[in-house]
């Protein structure tokens, strides 16, 4: 039985680091686990310009110890008024690694999101031409669509036509949650990929109502039925280069989670690798973990693989009730693998 697993240093291809005091509180959790991370731009106001991305990157680096080598990869928040020239300039200078598309009102701080993706044609043409990835929160926001169906309906109504109309555009369907999403990505061409969170591998929707209402299991897209969890698991451990690690770690203050109309988001950064590796072990797929965590993402983005390694060891680790004053994913549970010092 393998008791130690050494892999190339991994990256997180989807994280919310927030800003101000929350940034200070959480950023070291991500930097401890990952070499790089794709940082979501849904601040208030959102990051839509090169200057804003550069300033945000500087605040992230300032919140970290000077001796670390964590690299934040910045993203541009697409709005109805997105400027293709600014986006191309940002990509060329390295200020923007990718663009993020939120349908308006899909999740936290997405009120500035895109109301009609067809109006973004010039931006998408530019991104396609320069090889800049489009990262998509793939849910329709229509109130007449059941919340558990919003990802599948988005794929049918929006993503499938988008892939057809922009065949050379690199697209990452973020935080997939359904069998429909896993199948769509697997069947699409090599320029369509997906990130997968720990919570969508561990939880089905029963977890939201387990003995009472569970705000710390609430995220968007919301966790789904068991058959969807199993399909997403199968995709993660398949070894396909189209699926890679993206935690979607999304910290909120405890009182903003545990309230009437609590916020969506799970703070999974502190034990992210421990959480993922548990799934790969349960699926008998530890040999596929390095690809998922450390290789598929950079290859899709066209970035170099990291140098150096991290080691996980088979030793129990108790996840505390609080990390940085917040409730982490798996709080109070014991996980079977831990990051070796």
Which active-site residues does the annotation give?
Answer: 248
Mark 191-230 with x for binding to Zn ion (rule: CB under 5 A) and - for no binding.
Answer: ----------------------------------------
Does 295 help bind Zn ion (rule: CB under 5 A)? no
Nearest-angstrom CA–CA distance, 254 and 237: 32
Residue in 212, 144, 161, 204 with CA at minimum distance from that of residue 179: 204
Nearer to Zn ion, 12 or 248 (CB): 248
Closer residue to Zn ion in complex, CB, 248/281: 248
Q: How far apart are CA 109 and CA 302, in angstroms?
A: 29
Which CB, 248 or 274, lies closer to Zn ion? 248
Q: Which of 248, 274, 281, 295 binds Zn ion (CB under 5 A)?
A: 248
Pairs from 233-236 (Cβ < 8 Å, separation ≥ 24): 233/201, 233/279, 233/283, 234/182, 235/176, 235/182, 235/185, 235/186, 235/194, 235/196, 236/196, 236/201, 236/279, 236/280, 236/292
For the bound state, the minimum distance from the C-beta of residue 14 to Zn ion, rounded and expressed in Å, comes to: 6
Q: Which is nearer to Zn ion, 272 or 312 (CB)?
A: 272
CB of 179 to Zn ion, least distance (A): 21
* Token pair of 24 as six digits: 């200070």
- Rule CB under 5 A: is residue 139 a binding residue for Zn ion? no
Give the sign of the dihedral formed by CA 177, CA 142, CA 113, CA 78.
positive
Nearer to Zn ion among residue 246 and residue 298 (C-beta): 246
Q: How far is the CB of 33 from Zn ion (least distance, A)?
A: 17
CB of 2 to Zn ion, least distance (A): 32
CA distance 271 to 115: 36
Number of residues counted as binding Zn ion (CB under 5 A): 1
Q: Does 180 bind Zn ion (CB under 5 A)?
A: no
Least gap, CB of 252 to Zn ion (angstroms) = 12
Q: Which residues bind Zn ion (CB under 5 A)?
A: 248
């Amino acid at each position: 039985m393998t008791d130690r697993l050494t892999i190339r240093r991994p990256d997180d291809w989807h994280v919310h680091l927030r800003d101000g005091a929350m940034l200070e509180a959480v950023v070291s959790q991500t930097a401890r686990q990952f070499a790089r991370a794709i940082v979501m731009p849904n601040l208030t106001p959102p990051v839509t310009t090169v200057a804003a991305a550069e300033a945000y990157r500087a605040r992230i680096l300032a919140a970290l110890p000077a001796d670390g080598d964590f690299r934040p990869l910045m993203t541009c928040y697409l709005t109805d008024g997105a400027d293709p020239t600014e986006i191309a300039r940002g990509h060329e200078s390295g200020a923007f690694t990718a663009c993020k598309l939120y349908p308006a009102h899909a999740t936290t701080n997405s009120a500035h999101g895109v109301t009609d993706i067809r109006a973004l044609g010039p931006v998408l043409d530019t991104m396609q031409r320069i090889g800049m990835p489009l990262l998509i929160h793939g849910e329709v926001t229509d109130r007449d669509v059941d919340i558990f169906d919003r990802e599948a309906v988005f794929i049918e109504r929006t993503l499938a036509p988008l892939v057809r109309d922009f065949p050379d555009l690199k697209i990452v369907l973020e935080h997939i949650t359904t069998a429909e999403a896993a199948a769509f990505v697997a069947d699409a061409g090599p320029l369509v990929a997906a990130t997968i969170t720990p919570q969508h591998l561990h939880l089905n929707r029963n977890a939201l109502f387990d003995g009472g209402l569970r705000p710390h299991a609430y995220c968007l897209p919301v966790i789904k039925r068991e058959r969807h969890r199993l399909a997403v698991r199968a995709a993660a451990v398949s070894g396909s280069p189209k699926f890679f690690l993206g935690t979607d770690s999304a910290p909120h203050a405890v009182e903003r989670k545990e309230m009437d109309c609590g916020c969506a988001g799970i703070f999974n950064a502190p034990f992210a690798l421990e959480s993922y590796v548990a799934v790969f072990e349960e699926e008998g797929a530890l040999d596929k973990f390095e690809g998922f965590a450390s290789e598929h993402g950079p290859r899709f983005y066209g970035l170099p693989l990291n140098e150096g390694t991290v080691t996980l060891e088979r030793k129990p680790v108790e996840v505390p009730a609080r990390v940085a004053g917040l409730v982490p994913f798996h709080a109070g549970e014991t996980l079977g693998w831990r990051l070796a010092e």
